[in-house]
Each structure stands twice: as C-alpha cells, then as structure tokens.
Amino acid sequence: MKQMLLKMHGVRGSIPTPYADRSRFGGNTSSIEIATPDTQIFYDAGTGFAHSKFDPSAQNRLMLFSHFHHDHIQGLGFNPAIYLPDNQLRLCSALVPPERLNAILSDYYQMPYFPVDIFGMSSHLICSDFEQTVAPLADDIRISSIELNHPGGACGYLFETDAAKIAVLLDNEFTSSQHLMLARACEGADLVVWDGTYTQAELADKTGWGHSSIEQALSFSEDADIGHILITHHEPARTDDEITRFQSVYNSHKLSFAYEGMEFNIPASQ
C-alpha cells in the first residue's frame, strides 16, 4: 500500500509576510508538495517553492498551477533546482492550454520583471497539456481538476491512489451553489486543503475577492464525507497569535490550520 505525502511549503495568501509575529505559521505564499514513492508534484509556485527540494529518486516530476496571480507564481525562478539541466520539470494547468501557460510564465520571468529569461535558457522546463501529462501517471496517482470560483478563473485538483485521496481547493470563493459539486468531488477524501483566508465576519465586505471563510470550511467538513480539512492561504495580516486563537475558537477534530513544513502521510500507517 503506497503512502501519499502532502507537505506545506507556503501557507500565506496574497503577499509574503516576513515578520516575527507571523513566523510560527509562516510567511511564504502558496506552494504545496504532493508525492508518492514514484511521483513528485508541486502545486503552485509561491515563495514557498523557493526552498522546496527536488527528489532525485522521483520517476516523474511536475508542477500544477491553480491560476496565475502573483502569489502563486512568484517563487518559481528562485528555486536553484530548476536551473540544473538534469532536473526536468513538466509544468501544466487545467486552466489553460500549454501554449498559454508558456506565454504567461515566459512574460513574467524575463525583463523587465525578472533579470533572467528562465524559459529561454532552460529546455528542461516543459509546459505541457494537463490531460496528456497526468494520464500516464494513473497507475501510480490519478489527478483530476475541478473548476473553482476566483477572479480570472482557478482550478482545484484531486489526487487519488488506491489507498488515499487528497483535494486541494485554492483559490476559491465558496458559494452555496458549489456545495453539492464540491462535496461530490471531495467524497471520501482523507484531506481537503481549503482557502480559509477570512472569517465569516471579514468576508462580509470582501465579496468578489475570490476567497472563502474558516466557518465555511468547518460547515463543509461537517456536511461532506471527508476525513479532515486544512485551512491555508492565511490572510497576510493574520498573526501567529490570531491563528492559534482560531484553533481554540473553531474547535473541531476535523479542522486544523496549516503551517510551513506541516506534513501529512496518508494512510498514516501501513
């Protein structure tokens, strides 16, 4: 029975927060690693990706993008591993075809925004079609996408093996019309990663900003057939003390708050 690993490399939304009062949970923007013994996947390339390590034993390595807002791509060019020719990395997104993905990232990672044209100099960074990229991995890990509600569009991803299921839903503004669709997609998931940028009170004047609340996560975890829900994409101003207080306020064995370096191995034991 193969384990599936999920590791949080970046848990902050919108902008990095390198401040002492936000250091326990972490100030790097969104980046998540999901891995089986054969496949290593990076989900988004916020600043958390800059310190992610490539597994030399992985037979397959790819990066999935939920969307292309600044906080989800700004770490790609700062990971030294991407400059090593032997480290082939396939980049794809269910949101756009590979030609569009290449255009978006190439424009971002060249002058005047970045000093080095990383795609022009790196033939081992390959933008590829999402379906064609994940299909050959099905015997090891099955990956599918789900449409999310976010300005400009975004997609979540489902990761399944014979022993585990993980759903990552970033970035998403949850609405009641999504509930049935998301519940069906996440049915049986051991872990759901949830965009909990705001509290319900904070969400009141942020309609259309593209994010969900912690209370919505708690309600979803109670209604849907899932094992655990993990809050991430923390609001930039959210301090460690506030998040720690939330852990007591939203007291549920099914809900927790992500911090950098946090790991889940599913199933927990073999």
Per-residue pLDDT tens for 107-129? 999 999 999 899 988 789 999 99
Model confidence pLDDT, tens digit, residues 244-260: 999 999 989 999 999 99
Is 60 exceeded by the pLDDT of residue 3? yes
Whole-model pTM? 0.95
Is 80 exceeded by the pLDDT of residue 229? yes
Cα separation, 131 vs 145, whole angstroms: 10
* The CATH number of domain 4-260, selected from 1.20.910.10, 2.70.98.20, 3.60.15.10, 3.40.50.300: 3.60.15.10
Is 70 exceeded by the pLDDT of residue 238? yes
Cα separation, 109 vs 44, whole angstroms: 15
Is 60 exceeded by the pLDDT of residue 270? no
- pLDDT at position 1 is 66
Is 60 exceeded by the pLDDT of residue 269? no
3-state secondary structure of 98: helix
Cα separation, 71 vs 65, whole angstroms: 11
Residue 213 DSSP class: B
Q: At what angle do helices 179-186 and 214-223 cross, to 10 degrees?
A: 60
Domain boundaries, the chain: 4-260
* Among 265, 177, 268, 255, residue whose Cα is nearest residue 219: 255
